[in-house]
Amino acid sequence: MPGAKEVTYHGKTVLIVGAARSGIAAAEFLLARGARVVLTDIKNLEALVPAIAPLQSLAEESGELILELGGHKSESFRKCDFVVVSPGVPLALPFFEESRKARVPVIAEVELAARHLQGKILGITGSNGKTTTTTLVADLLNGAGLKGHAAGNIGIPLMSYVAGSTPEDIYATELSSFQLEGVEKFRPFVGSILNLTPDHLDRYPGFEAYIEAKKRIFMNQTVSDFAVLNADDPKTAAIGAEVISQPILFSRRSEPVRGAFVRVGKLFYRDGHGEQELFSTSDIRLKGEHNLENVLAACAIALLAGAAPSTLRNVIRNFKGVEHRLEWVAEIGSIQYFNDSKATNVDATIKSLRAFPGNIHLIAGGRDKGGDFTLLQPLVRERVKQLVLIGEAREKIREALQGVVDTSEAASLHEAVILCSRRASPGDVVLLAPACASFDMFRNYEHRGQVFKQAVRELKRASEAVRERHGL
């Protein structure tokens, strides 16, 4: 694979769709190599100035930058050499049909990065748990003395690593279904689908179409590569019979012939040379059965990438999880507050509810992604004392859970936190696990989680002020 500095794009016109982190990283790479870059976004210039300013400076030295902001131009999708799509931009948008008709290649940012990146790529996708697993894999690699990096949807675009990449680097890369739709030659040394549950059905014609997008992670693998799959998830496990690469399974409930599993409170890894005990389940600090699955997957991926088994335990014991993923925020009056803003679909909220035995005050709602909220009924009936709804989907959720739980609505997330705190008793849990996207009220799920944490911090300060006034 050629080094990044050897690449040139002089004389090429490239349309980049989306001016978020990945789009900006792709633009920087292409401009530095002489390309004529057309950057388009539905946001206007005022909203994008901080991100675009460095590109404008770069374009004065190399390449050419053309901005098409506040909307897209059909002509630009036809009159370019290829299109680079940022994560989160669905390829079903009508504009991309213009490119297809003109036979202009449309690729994801990760595809462009992989064409120039040195080192190994580990691709991680699935409906839930991607960010936690990706972060943990990078930590496990570094704990083993390897050069591990977390990339992709986790925050740092894969494109950002290209210029400084070396053959020794290993990239744990979180991948969305949208990104995988735009790959052509992308080939991860290890690819993993953690689980498959209905998600993004507002953007796919059905569950099977969503699954097909996820399966593209394996499309270019060979017999020397690996496919890490969840043996406890029927849809995911079935893919093992389809892949050309070597299937490696992980399971909480069984002991696969090759892979990671649990036996009497201990984690093991088994390969063609036998099995080895890794560590105890008591070493894992993360809550919930779903996080045990994430740990199993991460260990299998890290071991396949070269980590020594003896190095895993210390990293696992110190891994506290990822922000906005079942994140403990505070204890106020013996009431625990948890932020799971990343629970953006129904299955993620089910997993979140399973992490607690009961006495939950649940905050849910946001922008509907086509989820079936009736699936929440059994766990809500069993474990939730109060449901507070926010956002666009609140009426749909209320109807789906009618008669199941005491339900109220809040105009803001701050108000929802207050409503929960008023009715919560010592020993209860206030949990943000929305089962919806965030874009109706917030910039993204991170922003939603930050607002929740700020509301909880304000509540804690107010509680402490009251206790101080009364000498408690």
Beta bridge partners of 65: 37
Q: The domain 327-469 belongs to what CATH superfamily? A: Mur ligase, C-terminal domain (3.90.190.20)
Rounded CA-CA distance 10/397 in Å is: 53
Q: Is the separation of the CB atoms in 30 and 36 below 8 Å?
A: no
Per-residue pLDDT of the chain (472 residues; tens, 9 = 90+): 334 445 789 999 999 999 988 999 999 999 999 999 999 999 988 888 888 889 999 999 999 999 999 999 999 999 999 999 998 788 888 999 999 999 999 999 999 999 999 999 999 999 989 999 999 999 999 999 999 999 998 878 999 999 899 999 999 999 999 899 999 999 999 999 999 987 666 777 888 999 999 999 999 999 999 999 999 999 999 999 999 999 999 999 999 999 999 999 999 999 988 999 999 999 999 988 889 999 999 999 999 999 999 999 999 999 988 889 899 999 999 999 999 999 999 999 999 999 999 999 999 999 999 889 999 999 999 999 999 999 999 999 999 999 999 999 999 999 999 999 999 999 999 999 999 999 999 999 999 999 999 999 999 999 888 877 777 6
Q: What is the pTM of this model?
A: 0.83
Rounded CA-CA distance 457/329 in Å is: 8
What DSSP element (H or E) covers 31?
A: helix 21-32
Q: Is the separation of the CB atoms in 28 and 61 below 8 Å?
A: no
CATH of domain 11-104: 3.40.50.720
The amino acid sitting at 357 is P
Q: What is the largest CA-CA distance in the chain?
A: 74
SS3 of 65, please? strand
Instruction: Pull the structure tokens for residue 412.
Output: 């803001």
- Enumerate the CATH 3.90.190.20 domain ranges in the chain, comma separated: 327-469
- Enumerate the CATH 3.40.50.720 domain ranges in the chain, comma separated: 11-104
DSSP 8-state assignment for residue 197: -
Q: Which residues contact 57 (CB under 8 A, 6 or more apart)?
A: none
- Enumerate the CATH 3.40.1190.10 domain ranges in the chain, comma separated: 110-318
Q: The domain 110-318 belongs to what CATH superfamily? A: Mur-like, catalytic domain (3.40.1190.10)
The amino acid sitting at 126 is G
